[in-house]
Structure 1
Amino acid sequence: MLLTFNRKPYFCSEIRLEDKSAYILEKVTLYKNSQVFDVKIQLASSKSESNRALIINALSGFKGDLQNLSSARDTQTMIRLLQSNEPIADVIDAGTTMRFLTAYFTATGQSKTMTGTARMCERPIGILVEALKTIGAEIDYLQKEGYPPLQIHGLSEQKSNEVTIRGDVSSQYISALVMIAPTLPQGLTIHLTGDLGSIPYIKMTLAQMKAFGVEAKAEWDKKVISVAPQSYAPTAYQIESDWSGASYWYSIVALATDEATKVELLGLKENSLQGDSAIVDIMTQLGVKSTFTKEGVLLTKIPAQASLNWDFTNCPDLAQTVAVTCVAKGIEATFTGIESLKIKETDRILALQNELRKFGGSLTEVVTNTEYKVAGSGFEFGSAPISIATYDDHRMAMAFAPLAMLTDVTIEEPHVVVKSYPSFWEDLKKVVQIEQQPK
């Protein structure tokens, strides 16, 4: 189910889609199936790895060989904009693309207008922009201070080789700076303040930079990352399958009622760069055993624990899937480290609260912006179909789809999955019957 975009340059508008009747589904209904036997899924490749590899390869002169790039819309948008000579760079709703390209266009001295959807222009970028200005960038806010759209004028002269930036808001700001650091005449030392969030994603960035010949020194205890002036060396680089996408299949196995349930996910590595590989440890507690094979990982059922306590600081994109799984299984949970969910594609905390309520669940803030309780109330699955709103958020659609192991469920605006996992509904047909309803 592919989407095509026919967009003129404009600021902070909604996504416009060409020929909606051909590509857009109003909703899909998934019919209950609790038995999943010997299913093999070739997962989509990681957009997190793909997007970093694309920036690094661009900084090495576009001479590398990137293999297994993600087909996700976010990654395809990155490719399109890296190849474009147009003065306006419209990232649509791709947050990573907005942040990485803001740094990339600055470091490469390009004049660009950065814009996106209405929601994108509500997502802050001031922390990154101010850090780039410290280095010497010339960037203007075109509407609201601290938010897109932006006018980038490039970097005429490096004014500083040190910046201080918060480490508790978005690791993508840090990754954006680290990737351009070796191309700066004086290199760059980044001082991080506050608690450090999503460290695995920063480590992923550093590992990919190393694959392209650049060494960075990270002193995590001192909260300092230093990168000397260096040149990226073009190389062949293989993108791993996506652990974020794997999480929905873990949830399917966790919620399936047949003890013989078995799913094999292809293309995953046990020692992954991706922070979302934490789903292995989380789902062990929720009733899923992971056995790594030469081809990927085999998922089978084991007894679940009665409760879960997890800090999602390093893997916030897993929170929705885990919340749905816990409520559906009647497992009480304590979540921390999910503050960043409020500034994602939607306010994911509010969206979760709204949709979990539809089958007796709750997500309650216990300590302001710090600790949340997840609980269910003995909802009788199968008594009536559940309809889930997705809030223009790909992860809302996919996180709630595994409920089809317990009841019929309707997912509204299912096309949102193209952002990260375009083949999700086709893959899901291997385990449930799906009725598609076009607009």
Structure 2
Amino acid sequence: MDIIELSQKSNFNYTEIPLPSSKSESNRVLIIDALTKGQNKISNLAEARDTQTMIGILQTNPPIYDVLDAGTTMRFLTAYAAITNQHKVLTGTPRMCQRPIGILVEALRSVGAEIHYMNEEGFPPLAVHGLKQQTAHQIKMRGDVSSQYISAMLMIAPLLPKGLEIELEGKIGSRTYIEMTLELMKHFGIQYSWEDRKIRVPHQDYQPATFSVESDWSGASYWFSLVACADSGSLFLKGLKENSLQGDAKIVEIMDHLGVKSTFKNGGVLLEKQAVKGLDSFDFTHCPDLAQTVAVTCAIIGKNSKFTGLESLRIKETDRIYALQQELGKFNAKLEEVEPEVFQVIPSVTMPHEVQIHTYDDHRMAMAFMPLLTKTKVLVEDPDVVNKSYPSFWKHCKLTGIQIQYL
């Protein structure tokens, strides 16, 4: 197993970071593009492995869609294979085959798709045998497990002969990702309505359009954290919009409380240090991918904070709550469940001379703990795990003067 050593560094000169493109936008636009009659002009697609996997599958259309560890790709391509009436097997890594997909499969079956589980009920691998006739145009879906199931159904909804009405049940999580899906569909000519808990998409065709993918706010979050944890420094993150479709743009508001001033200018955002206000609590329901970044930041800068809305973290690339608890403990910080689904970050009071971070096959674990180098030497196991979403991450770390050595 590869391990890298990040030397301690607390002060940073002004540096420009050429952020990667948004994986979330890219993966949605790729499905919409594949469902559009006519030629779209799509630019700035993500370099992330998840996106490159989807590009490869859509271009070659193999009999077996092997999505590796890409959850979004698995869910979107399951719906895509059904609506395009194809016979496909969908599979992935062992961890991918442990991630639930039953809510999406039941929704697809309810509108007429034929899908069979090839192993355990409710989990990949799947055999999809198309959707020959629409059997329902009104369905109910849980909103509290994964927004990707809902987005997958929405993107195929215009192609259903009777359109589709989805009624969301329970707490609606990651609402911003559902809104992103609908806004991207709208960009490609789709009309929809969302009233209360019901989203209605009539039968219609996607219209060819031009679209450039924005830089990735999830990837930007680690640089916000670095500035928050550093003694001094400023960074300029390229390609970010103030009015973004991405829910993780919420990091601007969060980090305003944790000592980072954000100024939008010149096609990006300038990050500078400011006084720490404190973050008493935050609900991550609509931006769960930021939870690791913010938990580590609070632990490093000495701020107690209560987190809610972390339910979906247990079914991500790893059980992210367990992973955070284990790794925060290595520098004497804690993430404790103080009430059901309420977690408190208890900061570190003493710092070891070095910390070795296990990454659990999870790209966000590797990147979220990088800012710990502002306080101590950090060893990161399996550093190439970042290729899932941000292949140039360690190269960008070097731009800031961080010294990286392979052990």
TM-score, length-normalised on structure 1? 0.91
The equivalent of 1:423 in structure 2 is 392
The equivalent of 1:283 in structure 2 is 255
Which residue of 225, 228, 236 maps to 2:210? 236
In the alignment, structure 1 residue 299 sits paired with structure 2 residue 271? yes
Contact 2:254 2:279 in 1 (8 A): no
Q: Which runs of 5+ in 1 are unaligned?
A: 1-24
The equivalent of 1:148 in structure 2 is 124
Which residue of 9, 27, 32 maps to 2:8? 32
Contact 2:300 2:348 in 1 (8 A): no
- Separation in 2 of the partners of 1:158 and 1:282? 44
Tell me the SS of whatever aligns to 1:284. Answer: helix
Which amino acid letter does the alignment assign opposite residue 181 of structure 1? A
- Separation in 2 of the partners of 1:38 and 1:373? 33
- Separation in 1 of the partners of 2:348 and 2:46? 39
Which amino acid letter does the alignment assign opposite residue 56 of structure 1? I
- Could you give the per-residue CA deviations for residues 39-63 of structure 1, whole angstroms, max 9, x where no partner exists? 0001000000000000001000462
The equivalent of 2:344 in structure 1 is 373
The equivalent of 1:320 in structure 2 is 292
Which residue of 183, 193, 218 maps to 1:217? 193
- Separation in 2 of the partners of 1:215 and 1:36? 47
Which amino acid letter does the alignment assign opposite residue 225 of structure 1? I
Q: Which runs of 5+ in 2 are unaligned?
A: none
Q: Residue 62 and residue 315 in structure 1: after superposition, are their counterparts in 2 closer, same or farther (change >3 A)?
A: farther
The equivalent of 1:65 in structure 2 is 41
1:363-402 aligned at under 5 Å gives the runs: 363-368=335-340, 370-380=341-351, 383-402=352-371
In the alignment, structure 1 residue 357 sits paired with structure 2 residue 329? yes
Contact 1:91 1:98 in 2 (8 A): yes
Tell me the SS of whatever aligns to 2:166. Answer: strand
In the alignment, structure 1 residue 271 sits paired with structure 2 residue 247? no
- Could you give the per-residue CA deviations for residues 129-173 of structure 1, whole angstroms, max 9, x where no partner exists? 000000000000000000000000000100001110000100001
Which amino acid letter does the alignment assign opposite residue 144 of structure 1? E
1:333-344 aligned at under 5 Å gives the runs: 333-344=305-316
Contact 1:285 1:308 in 2 (8 A): no
Over the aligned positions, Cα root-mean-square deviation in angstroms equals 1.0
The equivalent of 2:405 in structure 1 is 435
- Separation in 2 of the partners of 1:271 and 1:320? 24
Which amino acid letter does the alignment assign opposite residue 373 of structure 2? A
Structure 1 residue 422: deviation in Å?
A: 0.4
Structure 1 residue 294: deviation in Å?
A: 2.2
In the alignment, structure 1 residue 251 sits paired with structure 2 residue 225? yes
Contact 1:123 1:343 in 2 (8 A): yes
- Could you give the per-residue CA deviations for residues 190-237 of structure 1, whole angstroms, max 9, x where no partner exists? 010001011111110111101111111111xx2010000000011110
Identity across matched positions, percent: 57
- Separation in 1 of the partners of 2:97 and 2:279? 38
- Could you give the per-residue CA deviations for residues 92-144 of structure 1, whole angstroms, max 9, x where no partner exists? 00000000000011000010000000000100000000000000000000000
Contact 1:248 1:321 in 2 (8 A): yes
- Separation in 2 of the partners of 1:245 and 1:64? 26
Which amino acid letter does the alignment assign opposite residue 236 of structure 2? E
- Could you give the per-residue CA deviations for residues 249-284 of structure 1, whole angstroms, max 9, x where no partner exists? 0000001012xx110000000000000000000000
Tell me the SS of whatever aligns to 1:192. Answer: strand
Tell me the SS of whatever aligns to 1:290. Answer: strand
- Stretches of 4+ moved more than 3 A in 1? none
Contact 1:35 1:257 in 2 (8 A): yes
Structure 1 residue 436: deviation in Å?
A: 1.9
Which amino acid letter does the alignment assign opposite residue 104 of structure 1? Y
Structure 1 residue 367: deviation in Å?
A: 2.0
- Separation in 1 of the partners of 2:210 and 2:226? 35
In the alignment, structure 1 residue 414 sits paired with structure 2 residue 386? no
Structure 1 residue 85: deviation in Å?
A: 2.9
